[in-house]
Structure 1
């Protein structure tokens, strides 16, 4: 993939929008996949990429809802994918590979947050399974298409966990007491470590990967939180109006995702954690690398998928 030549000296920041980041960039002929690209940040990302000329495929568990959401956006198609179901991941990836298309941009945007205790598959905690394992399996299944045209950009949506990502190695699936925020933080930590290891493994093939914190955005991601919880946390008032000055619109939250996916200035920053269109942290220390390698091996064992030949 040939990335944008747009200089990063334009000064993108927390207030920039995805459309502003892509101003002057022609993505005609590029193929992008945006998981969850029909709601909230994902929809803003889909709109911006399509407006810049990209062909965008939106995998969705609720395909009817997704098709309605993207109706009228030129160059956007919808296909079925349930990230919590590894058979669904495999079937989706097979359809993409069978199409013969190379992938230029893969944005792993879909996710769930602070859910009640839910177990999927062989008893996996749902946030870790959906936010991390599903995307891990998807990337590995799609690997031939990601490297087919010189290497793709892979962007993994994370959260504010980037300063100190933590994995509960001794109780990964919260068998000994469930905390919904702890489980969410772990899944987002896994996203960061996954992007760092994917970049290390994939850079020889031209694939560069990044994790992104979009900041505070009110989207359907908060659907598992009650109004009382959000009022109590000081996020919103009784009328549902955002109170924190840090809150931004979805179009602003999506800016860092599209910047990560297209900026030539990031070519030497692969594996980094980004926020507000800035590189915040590079995960290249020995302890971080050890954790990333350990998570990759664990994910390969759980899913049975590894594009680099470490598992069946």
Structure 2
């Protein structure tokens, strides 16, 4: 049982923002000149909006991409952009990207891990790792480990881990992470990876605080983006994400469903807000720190297993073992 008294920071601070806040509004008038950010998935959906807002505020934004042509088209016209090559499912590609950045001798002020896959068919990589867990968690774990010297050099870095309310669909199954023995469920696999993203922020913040590196997990809301490309029309219709003509659409607005600018707001807030100075290791949504809610509660918030310090430490040790990476 999670002792909530050990997690005093996992409670709303009543930021003054809310579900309709946009990324631009969450940033305010901050000047990010001189700041350097790396945003995985920074050329699509929420990542692209985050890239735009930070770059137009003066930050140098490095956007690594698997498909350079797609990224070039999406980022055309934005200032302060550096396009790079990276495949989060390929450990050699991650190492090569890290080496290139470290060789530049620059600090890294913001690492925003926004890339990911959702509800894909069962697939294992060359190491035998299930694709959601390998891409959404292990790829970003290896990336952050390699970039650690640059994060320390920033003397005030933040690492943003894009989790999801989908974490409610599964805790970490340490006995069979990669679906070698249990029946595959694409939503449970996605949920497990999103729980891993949240736990990553918990443990990274604990380890990074002494070097002035803070970490945050973010649930952006439910937004119809390219992340849903593997969902069938029937699944999208059940979610209310298809109109009568069969076109993808924004669902009826509420505190959960958002536009892309609204969905990127919590990411930008966690990356830049002075309201979070001295804080970290927390799960955020609707531009505030989320409440802890019971496992079966219909309400939003973070489930206890996604912020459990013991699980975070166990996942960290296992991730080091699986990737052969040490921070």
Flag whether TM exceeds 0.5 (same fold).
yes
Is the aligned partner of 1:255 residue 2:261?
no
Structure 1 counterpart of 2:151, from 146, 149, 162:
146
- 1:120, distance to aligned residue in structure 2 (A): 1.0
CA contact (8 A) 1:208 1:267 kept: no
Structure 2 counterpart of 1:71, from 76, 83, 87:
76
Alignment-derived partner of residue 235 in structure 2: 229
Where in structure 2 are the equivalents of 1:1-312 lying within 5 Å?
Answer: 11-161=16-166, 166-175=171-180, 176-239=182-245, 240=247, 241-246=249-254, 247-281=257-291, 288-307=308-327
- 1:161, distance to aligned residue in structure 2 (A): 4.1
User: Structure 2: where are the runs of 5+ without partners?
Assistant: 1-12, 293-301
CA contact (8 A) 1:162 1:273 kept: no
**Distance (Å, rounded) in 2 between the aligned partners of 1:48 and 1:227:** 32
- 1:9, distance to aligned residue in structure 2 (A): 7.4
CA contact (8 A) 2:41 2:64 kept: yes
- 1:227, distance to aligned residue in structure 2 (A): 1.4
**Distance (Å, rounded) in 2 between the aligned partners of 1:257 and 1:114:** 22
Q: Bigger shift: 197-206 or 147-156?
A: 147-156
**Distance (Å, rounded) in 1 between the aligned partners of 2:250 and 2:201:** 31
**Distance (Å, rounded) in 2 between the aligned partners of 1:52 and 1:165:** 37
**Distance (Å, rounded) in 2 between the aligned partners of 1:98 and 1:276:** 37
Q: Bigger shift: 165-174 or 28-37?
A: 165-174
Residues 18-45 of structure 1 show CA distances to partners (whole Å, capped at 9, x for unaligned) of: 1111121000010011000000000000
Question: What secondary structure is seen at the aligned counterpart in 1 of 2:269?
Answer: helix
CA contact (8 A) 2:129 2:178 kept: yes
For these two proteins, the number of residue pairs brought into alignment is: 299
- 1:162, distance to aligned residue in structure 2 (A): 5.2
**Distance (Å, rounded) in 2 between the aligned partners of 1:225 and 1:165:** 19
CA contact (8 A) 2:15 2:288 kept: no
**Distance (Å, rounded) in 2 between the aligned partners of 1:111 and 1:164:** 17
CA contact (8 A) 1:165 1:186 kept: yes
Residues 285-306 of structure 1 show CA distances to partners (whole Å, capped at 9, x for unaligned) of: 8981110000000000000111
Q: Bigger shift: 199-208 or 120-129?
A: 120-129
**Distance (Å, rounded) in 2 between the aligned partners of 1:92 and 1:40:** 22
Provide the aligned C-alpha RMSD in A.
1.9
CA contact (8 A) 1:237 1:243 kept: no
User: Structure 1: where are the runs of 5+ without partners?
Assistant: 1-7, 308-312
- 1:235, distance to aligned residue in structure 2 (A): 3.2
- Give the direction of change, closer, same or farther, for the CA distance of 1:58–1:139 in structure 2 (3 Å limit): same
**Distance (Å, rounded) in 2 between the aligned partners of 1:116 and 1:9:** 40
**Structure 2-normalised TM-score?**
0.87
**Distance (Å, rounded) in 2 between the aligned partners of 1:292 and 1:140:** 16
Question: What secondary structure is seen at the aligned counterpart in 2 of 1:147?
Answer: helix
CA contact (8 A) 2:266 2:284 kept: yes
- 1:237, distance to aligned residue in structure 2 (A): 2.8
